[in-house]
Amino acid sequence: MSTTLRINGITHQVDLPDDVPLLWVLRDEVGLTGTKFGCGVAACGACTVHIDGEAVRSCQVALSDVWGDVTTIEGIGTPDTMAAVQQAWVANQVAQCGYCQSGQIMQAASLLAENPSPSDAEIDEAMQGNLCRCGTYPRIRAAIHDAAKMMKEA
Amino acid sequence: MASIRKIARRSFLIGSAAIVGGVAFGTYKYHQPAPNPLEEKDGRAVLNPFVFVDQSGVTLIAPRAEMGQGVKSSWASLIAEELDVDPAKVSVLHGPAAKAYYNSAMMSEALPGRGYDASDFQHSLGEIVGHMSKFLDLQVTGGSSSMRDGFDRMRQAGASARETLKQAAADQLGVSRDQLKTEDGHVVAPDGTRLSYSTLAAAAAMIEPVETGLRPASSWRLIGKDVPRIDMVAKSTGTAEFGVDVRLPGMKFAAIKQSPHFGVGKTAFDASAAEGMAGVEKILDLGDAVAVVATNTWLAQQAVDAIDVTWDPAPYPETTDAIFDEIARSFGNAPNSTMRDDGDVDTLPDGATVIEAEYRLPYLAHATMEPMNATALYTGDGLQIWAPNQGPTVVQKNAAELAGLEKDAVEVNTTYLGGGFGRRIETDYTDRAVQIALQMPGTPVQLTWSREEDMSHDFYRPGAIARYRAAVKDGNAVMVHGKIAAQSTTVEGAGRMLGLPMTGPDKGHVDAAFNQPLAIPNFRVEGYLAKPMIPVGFWRSVGASFNGFFSDCIIDEMAHAAGRDPLEFRLELAHPEWEPAAKVLETVRDMSGWTGKTADGIGRGVALAYSFGTPVAQVIEVANQDGQIRMTNAWIAADLGRVIDPQNTRAQMFGGMVYGLSAACFGEITFQGGAVEQQNFPDYDALRMHTMPKVEVALLENQPHMGGAGEPGTPPAAPALANAIFDLTGRRARQLPLMHDFDLFI
Ligand code: FES
Ligand code: FES
């Protein structure tokens, strides 16, 4: 059964059963491997993408339920044209192993889109579903504040 | 002594070789060079392994696993420091599995002795023993050893390459070498002429490599500075390739279900339900596991979940309680080691106050963010493996055995690692991928474990029991006698890695217990080894992960019994034994504004642990928030002797502490019916953004030797927190995780 998806502005036809989670459509079918698998049960946030701008756990959204345009980490910026939030991540040297960071960045990007200057408490609230086993949290917090500043100045 | 020095020096002989249009530089180890691993390809011969220069520029090889500790960048900085190149402008590759990339520092940790009291002579001896790992083919990343291993060797590789390139320029320009300078990948002549290393490479290959001394610390541009990490842009844009991101033409995806009972197979299985499922290409019987190869990882997982398997019963005690009974039983055996036995612990002075405590710590999973995975392609006469691994030569050896191939026929490609923490020093996940690939010749297959599979099939941090008897008198520490029982990571884990039986006193088992830099007149530590039951392995800081808790908690209990301030009490014990340990305590005291008094509703705890060559002190502050315990602040001071990259080292110290705190609060692996009960993050949670304390890190460079960074932050975390909770509640935590006995803010 063929489903049409719009991902990072490009239309894809995918031939997979309806119940395959978006995560696995992206990774194993479309070849967008920036979005990561961590738990499969909505407990880590590594698989976070945007659907119509809203941060969602792609491991929990079945292919047939994708309700809008999908944006992945590859869609918000590239190494040569990084989004402000990605630039802030580099400037703060956030990543350690880096495996959770696509999900962290996508979560942070949606927070900043809704709330251009989040407080520490608002950051806590928005980011607590995103696990980092390496413990990069303080630099994530600093990068979100920096990105907020950069986006305001831009 | 003289001969030792001579050997140590000879081990740094420099070599170079011609490659097409270029030159390769490196360091030879020991008497003979290890065989060169970089193949002659496209006419590009490479004799030795760490630097090569050709038309396309400079390439550095950093053959250590990048799992978040920044080793790729720091290793490159060591070479670049002497070579005068910008690490951001050169290529840095991991390189293949090879003997030449052996880890010399890790084996030297195995030498007897407390570590902190080692003389220079013992350090030289350590280096020599380290070269043993060459003969064991031990290319591994672990033991917080990379910087200690590469510090001299890589700077020497860079220095020799630089001077040889300068010599080539001198010959060409008709000036003497000492009139030339180097800068940003160029040799610069007195008249300002700039010759790029690339254009000099072919000529440099023709001349005898120049040996030279190393630059003094005062002239360093990179070492000791915050250097931007070379993997940072890739890791911020989703373009860094982890093991699970490998994509090959025609690749299939596999899922696996392994026996929940360790070490046994199955009596029966029925795969009929899986057979017709979407995407399924092949169902494989692996003996003690079943696997499905499909067109998509998730479809493979659905199918493997549909296979009905009856597993053989567990050949070890089936419940947590029965397993801990067995661990406790080992106290009845003769001790495996008594690595510290000062004074007399059996005779106490009159009027001494005796403290007796039993501590119990659970088995722990590594729970790396990236689940276990590997990709393999079997071609009939060769095998290619792509894997996020900490030990490529071990992967290679075990894969060759499984496939019945020569080691040379197995190529290991190391990707970025989504966390390691010691888990990826094992090869079970690469072995599984190889088993599957062998049944699918010509087809590359990527095996990804579900989180449930990953959590329930680890090589766990062993569960451990400690029995301590201690005494204080007139406010002073009089005696400590600790007995520590657990399965042995050395016997089981190191034995597995090296393929050798490990016998004799097990130092790792009592690390951070016997060798704490505390002057206690009567001090004995005994190690007891429980029999193998659950698979155990190297978990960040290994034995120190439990001993750090035991040996510091007892000190805290002693301080309390003696009516002393816990920080001053430790300081008084550290001063006469080892000044750098006292200094880290003083530093956290000053940073945290420690007064020994806390306001109502606030608790503070301190801990000190020496492990992997680095003393670390931590102070943790907790607060009562509406009846729940919340961590509010933490202070860390560590003395590494030499800090290569401060920002990165702070991240390691901090990350090590978070790892320890996560385990202290929530971590436990328990057993029912012989199987692991925890399956996914909801059963094995960790600190998150909102539960994280604010942290300040101070890095000191007082001690004369270089200590590790990746592990030493972990051991003091749990005791500092437990001691803070005692200060807040008056209740001692003698068991972890804390969530069972305390109401933690989550
Ligand atoms: S993989 Fe989706 S939340 Fe963990
Ligand atoms: S950077 Fe490793 S899990 Fe977050």
Q: What is the CATH number of the domain that holds B166?
A: 3.30.365.10
Taking the CB of residue B656, how many other CB atoms lie within 10 A of it?
A: 31
What angle, 0 to 180 degrees and rounded to 10, lies between the N-to-C axes of helices A137-153 and A84-91?
A: 130
In a domain, B746, yes or no: no
Q: Residue A30: its pLDDT value, please?
A: 97
Nearest to B236 among A24, A101, A134 (CB): A101
**B565 and B430: one domain?**
no
Choose, out of B72, B242, B298, B448, the residue to mutate when testing the contact with A (most A CBs < 10 Å). B298
**B649 and B540: one domain?**
yes
Q: Residue B15: its pLDDT value, please?
A: 60
| Digit-coded pLDDT (tens) for A83-129 | 999 999 999 999 999 999 999 999 999 999 999 999 999 999 999 99
Q: Is the pLDDT of residue B41 over 70?
A: no
Check residues B740 and B208 and name the one with the higher pLDDT.
Answer: B740
**B257 and B341: one domain?**
no
**B439 and B468: one domain?**
no
Residue type present at position B728: L
**B14 and B107: one domain?**
yes
Instruction: Give the A window 35-94 contacts with B, CB below 8 Å.
Output: 35-41, 43-44, 46, 72-74, 77-79, 82, 86, 89-90, 93-94
**B325 and B275: one domain?**
no
Q: Residue B118: its pLDDT value, please?
A: 58
Q: Residue B134: its pLDDT value, please?
A: 47
Upper half-sphere CA count for residue B634 (Cβ side, 13 Å): 32
Cα–Cα distance for residue pair B208/B172, rounded to 1 Å: 15
Q: Residue B648: its pLDDT value, please?
A: 92
**B295 and B326: one domain?**
no
| Digit-coded pLDDT (tens) for B341-387 | 999 999 998 999 999 999 999 999 999 999 999 999 999 999 999 99
Percent share of chain B, pLDDT over 70? 86
In a domain, B95, yes or no: yes
Q: Does A114 touch chain B (CB under 8 A)?
A: no
Do B232 and A90 count as a contact with CB atoms less than 8 A apart? yes
Q: Is A59 in the pocket of ligand 1 (CB under 6 A)?
A: yes
Q: Which atom of ligand 1 is nearest to the CA of A45?
A: 3
Check residues B745 and B87 and name the one with the higher pLDDT.
Answer: B745
Contacts of B420 in chain A (CB under 8 A): 97
The parent domain of residue B258 ranges over: 243-313+372-448
Do B417 and A139 count as a contact with CB atoms less than 8 A apart? no
Mean pLDDT of B484-499: 88
Q: Is A7 in the pocket of ligand 2 (CB under 6 A)?
A: no
Q: What is the 3-state secondary structure (H, E, C) of B410-459?
A: EEEEECECCCCCCHHHCCHHHHHHHHHHHCCCCCCEEEECCHHHHHHCCC
Mean pLDDT of A80-85: 97
Q: Is the pLDDT of residue B604 over 50?
A: yes
A21, β-bridge pairs: A62
Q: Does B680 touch chain A (CB under 8 A)?
A: yes
Q: How confident is the model at residue B424 (pLDDT cuts 50, 70, 90)?
A: very high
Pick from B705, B717, B726, B676: nearest CA to B323 = B676
Cα–Cα distance for residue pair B223/B215, rounded to 1 Å: 11
Cα–Cα distance for residue pair B108/B128, rounded to 1 Å: 8
Cα–Cα distance for residue pair B117/B211, rounded to 1 Å: 33
**B383 and B488: one domain?**
no
Contact yes or no for B388/B416 (Cβ under 8 A):
yes
Domain end position, chosen among B448, B473, B497:
B448
Tell me the average pLDDT of chain B: 88
Domain end position, chosen among B207, B236, B265:
B236
Report residue A38 as tokens: 């961590």
Q: Residues 6 or more apart from B662 whose CB is under 8 A from it?
A: A133, B685, B686, B687
Contact yes or no for A58/A23 (Cβ under 8 A):
yes
Q: Is the pLDDT of residue B30 over 50?
A: no
In a domain, B580, yes or no: yes
| Digit-coded pLDDT (tens) for A6-37 | 999 999 999 999 999 999 999 999 999 999 99
Pick from B450, B456, B369, B452: nearest CA to B669 = B456
Q: Residue B321: its pLDDT value, please?
A: 98
Size of interface A-B (CB pairs under 8 A): 191
Q: Does B142 touch chain A (CB under 8 A)?
A: no
**B600 and B558: one domain?**
yes
The domain spans of chain A are 2-75, 84-153
Instruction: Give the B window 64-123 contacts with A, CB below 8 Å.
Output: 67-70
Cα–Cα distance for residue pair B130/B102, rounded to 1 Å: 9
Q: Residues 6 or more apart from B50 whose CB is under 8 A from it?
A: B25, B26, B27, B60, B61, B79, B154, B157
The rounded Å distance from CA A5 to ligand 1 centre is 20
Cα–Cα distance for residue pair B209/B203, rounded to 1 Å: 11
The rounded Å distance from CA B152 to ligand 2 centre is 30
Check residues B77 and B293 and name the one with the higher pLDDT.
Answer: B293
**B466 and B442: one domain?**
no
Mean pLDDT of B590-609: 97
CA distances from B716 to A10, A12, A154, B546, B612 (A): 51, 51, 44, 10, 13
Percent share of chain B, pLDDT over 90? 72
In a domain, B454, yes or no: no
Nearest to B655 among A32, A98, A135 (CB): A135
Contact yes or no for B464/B361 (Cβ under 8 A):
yes
Q: Is the pLDDT of residue B120 over 80?
A: no
Check residues B317 and B149 and name the one with the higher pLDDT.
Answer: B317
CA-based angle B446:A21:A124, to the nearest 5? Answer: 100
Shortest alpha-carbon distance between residue B665 and chain A (Å):
14
What angle, 0 to 180 degrees and rounded to 10, lies between the N-to-C axes of helices B71-83 and B146-173?
A: 30
Q: Does A28 touch chain B (CB under 8 A)?
A: yes
Determine the residue of chain B that is closest to A83 in CA distance: B237
Q: How confident is the model at residue B265 (pLDDT cuts 50, 70, 90)?
A: very high
| Digit-coded pLDDT (tens) for B526-541 | 999 999 999 999 999 9
Domain end position, chosen among B236, B259, B278:
B236
Q: Find the ligand nearest to A43 CA.
A: 1
**B107 and B196: one domain?**
yes
**Domains contained in chain B, number:** 3
Q: Is A137 in the pocket of ligand 2 (CB under 6 A)?
A: no
Contacts of B296 in chain A (CB under 8 A): 16, 20, 24, 28-29
Q: Does B141 touch chain A (CB under 8 A)?
A: no
Buried b / exposed e across B685-694, counting CB within 10 Å, b at 16+? bbbbbbbbbe
Q: Residue B127: its pLDDT value, please?
A: 46
Q: Is A37 in the pocket of ligand 1 (CB under 6 A)?
A: yes
**B193 and B327: one domain?**
no
Q: Does A3 touch chain B (CB under 8 A)?
A: no
Q: Residue B486: its pLDDT value, please?
A: 98
Q: How confident is the model at residue B138 (pLDDT cuts 50, 70, 90)?
A: low
Q: Does A142 touch chain B (CB under 8 A)?
A: no
Cα–Cα distance for residue pair B686/B367, rounded to 1 Å: 10
Do B688 and A137 count as a contact with CB atoms less than 8 A apart? yes
Q: Is the pLDDT of residue B389 over 80?
A: yes
Q: What is the CATH number of domain A2-75?
A: 3.10.20.30
Q: Give pTM, 2 decimals.
A: 0.91
In a domain, B712, yes or no: yes
Q: Residue B281: its pLDDT value, please?
A: 98
Q: Does B458 touch chain A (CB under 8 A)?
A: no
CATH code matching the domain that covers A84-153, chosen among 1.10.132.20, 3.90.226.10, 3.40.50.280, 1.10.150.120: 1.10.150.120
